Structure 1
């Protein structure tokens, strides 16, 4: 491969994967693992604990250099009506690496205390770092012998950092909830691409924002030996090319003492123009025991990649610290102790 062609491939990869990863980190079923904060900053501070959740996601197991993601989420109530949250992540897709963090604030309002109506508003500052790892780049001479990247003049990783914001609103009415979140509300600057291979970057996307709607209803009471059923729906749409997908979810919880429980469920994801052609379908299991939380989800790939991989695995480990019951119903847990 000639040096010029290799450089063009490198730059094209930077644009393509930078755009794909920069839009949004993988959202599979992490938000169903007692961690709504994954979806929106508006959930920060709702509950009686400092909640910490660590997620490990291995996508398309069996495909070399398939996407792999690790993340940690934490949120806590401050005062009676506000919450703070933070998340940190590492996302690798082949030779593209993205790391970063989010810092969130939410404020919770009482619309009507008698009918249990609450409104929450939230905002997140996003810090994203994107890098191309050149360690595995190899060229070939006319005889087919490998040439390392350093011998081709590629001596440093390609890196870029950016800031952005998420904003959201959450409405709750007794056991019903619906949230709207706008991710990456700032457009992307294209100045740095003006003089680099215009024939490739002329379609470099400017719009990064995507919409997410998460809604559900909880049936049953979280009391000892009680059952709770939670159907929910998660919708996301990207403004850049208008592609969108939807999750249909269903969970069942069996409660023990206090807020201890075990749960099981299933999730069904599809592109909105292909309702009867699911992207993935998968079960999930988990438990909450005292301060410890554990969940596992397995997403079965249902599209053309199913012949080449064994699905996506999601593991969540969590801890609940510093229990303090809120004096405001807008942030108080619904578990009856």
Structure 2
């Protein structure tokens, strides 16, 4: 029995390290960007808005379960004076069971206007982020288990550096973003010192596009959008289909929406005497309010699959503050910029 426990424990640690390396290289990508925070995934959005922005997001999964995944991010970005350049910074900590990562990014972006005046929005932006990420594996909980040479019983850690690069294009009510995250090839992220499950290609490709519809003089606006992501190392891909609505109020703005994420890759599992397949699906309602220079948003994600670890969902709260705001210059319905 001790031998079986030892083999099981070793396998769990190795597999957890493997999946953690695949899915959590750098800042995890959830639905945070939909809470007025496109800079969190696209570095070219640093300083794109008329206001400098601070955003703090807390995300918790599966309340009631010990060591459930949780994420905390803090970001700030804005223009450099009256120039066409912007800067930004992101700090985050992400914990999932015995694995955790803490990272930070600094960003420079440049915005090129193609229109003859600021009234018409026709802007191309480029952004580059430099990041440092520290990974940790806490093995202290396993020191009383049967001896295993690959378990040191301490906090193991490693640090990697990487780059994100992307561009954004805004034309009146239309926008599009494309970003390559984790451009550099790592020396190898391993589940343990023995090099099991080496993973050295964390590159990820992101693409977003959307349009804001509104009648002239109306206090309502509607924004459909999509976001596609592809992980080069594991050949995984998924797509988000989003819809948001905005209502102008005397004190600010009320907004909400719905996001649907679906993986384009399936996973097989045993069901009865046969084998079934399922694809990861998230349904995410969003509700937010802008009050003067402050922003508050709540997001809930539900995993709509037959086989899940827990029926509980993801709860997310975002707090924001805008400052150094310039007068709205563009005659467009473009919430991320105006």
Do Structure 1 and Structure 2 share a fold, with TM-score over 0.5?
yes
Give the superposition deviation at 1:188. Answer: 1.4
Question: For the residues of structure 2 that align with 1:335 and 1:72, how far apart are their CA atoms?
Answer: 18
Is the 2:142–2:153 Cα contact (8 Å) retained in structure 1?
Answer: no
How many residues align? The count is 319
RMSD (CA atoms): 3.3
- SS of residue matched to 2:44: helix
Check conservation: 1:262, 1:287, Cα contact below 8 A: yes
CA distance in 2, matches of 1:308, 1:18: 18
Aligned position for 2:321: 319
> Structure 1, residues 200-241: CA drift from partner, whole Å, max 9, x if none?
34xx22211000001100112697x61111111011000012
Once the two structures are superposed, the pairs formed by residues 15-26 of structure 1 within 5 Å of their partners are 15-26=17-28
Structure 1 residues 181 and 103, CA, compared in 2 at 3 Å: closer, same or farther?
A: same
Task: Show the counterpart of 1:117.
Answer: 122
Instruction: Output one character per residue of 1:166-214: Cα deviation in whole Å (capped at 9) or x when no partner.
Output: 0001111111011100000001114x96x9546x34xx22211000001
Out of 240, 246, 254, the residue aligned to residue 239 of structure 2 is 246
Cα distance in 2 between the residues matched to 1:242 and 1:11: 23
State the partner residue of 2:41. Answer: 39
For the residues of structure 1 that align with 2:70 and 2:229, how far apart are their CA atoms? 21
Cα separation, 1, equivalents of 2:193 and 2:335: 55
Q: Is the 8 A contact 1:268 1:278 kept in 2?
A: no
Structure 2 gap ranges (5+): 267-277
| 1:37 partner SS | helix
Structure 1 residues 336 and 169, CA gap change in structure 2 (3 angstroms):
closer
Instruction: Note the 1:93-132 alignment, pairs <5 A.
Output: 93-113=96-116, 116-132=121-137
Q: Paired residue for 1:213, among 207, 219, 237?
A: 207
Quote how far apart the aligned CAs of 1:76 are.
0.9
Report the Cα distance in structure 1 between the residues aligned to 2:6 and 2:337, rounded to whole angstroms.
Answer: 66
**Structure 1 unaligned regions, length at least 5:** 142-146
The 5-angstrom pairing of residues 232-271 of structure 1 reads: 232-257=225-250, 260-271=252-263
Contact 1:48 1:326 in 2 (8 A): yes
Matches within 5 A, 1:295-306: 295-306=297-308
Matched, 1:156 2:149: no
TM-superposed deviation, 1:284? 0.9
The equivalences for 1:161-240 within 5 A come to: 161-190=159-188, 197=194, 200-201=196-197, 204-220=198-214, 226-240=219-233
Moved more, 16-25 or 66-75: 16-25
1:29–1:314 contact (8 Å) kept in structure 2: no
| Partner Cα separation in structure 1 for residue 58 and residue 207 of structure 2 | 23
Residues 61/336 of structure 1: CA separation in 2 closer, same or farther (3 Å cut) = closer
Q: CA deviation at 1:325?
A: 3.9
SS of residue matched to 1:23: coil
Q: Which residue of 2 aligns with 1:133?
A: 138
Per the alignment, residue 80 of structure 1 pairs with 83
The Cα of 1:257 is off from its aligned counterpart by: 3.6
Q: CA deviation at 1:278?
A: 5.6
Distance (whole Å) between structure 2 residues aligned to residue 216 and residue 74 of structure 1: 23
Normalised TM-score (structure 1) = 0.83
Could you tell me how far apart the structure 2 residues matched to 1:24 and 1:335 are? 24
Query: Which of 281, 284, 302 is the matching residue for 1:282?
Result: 284
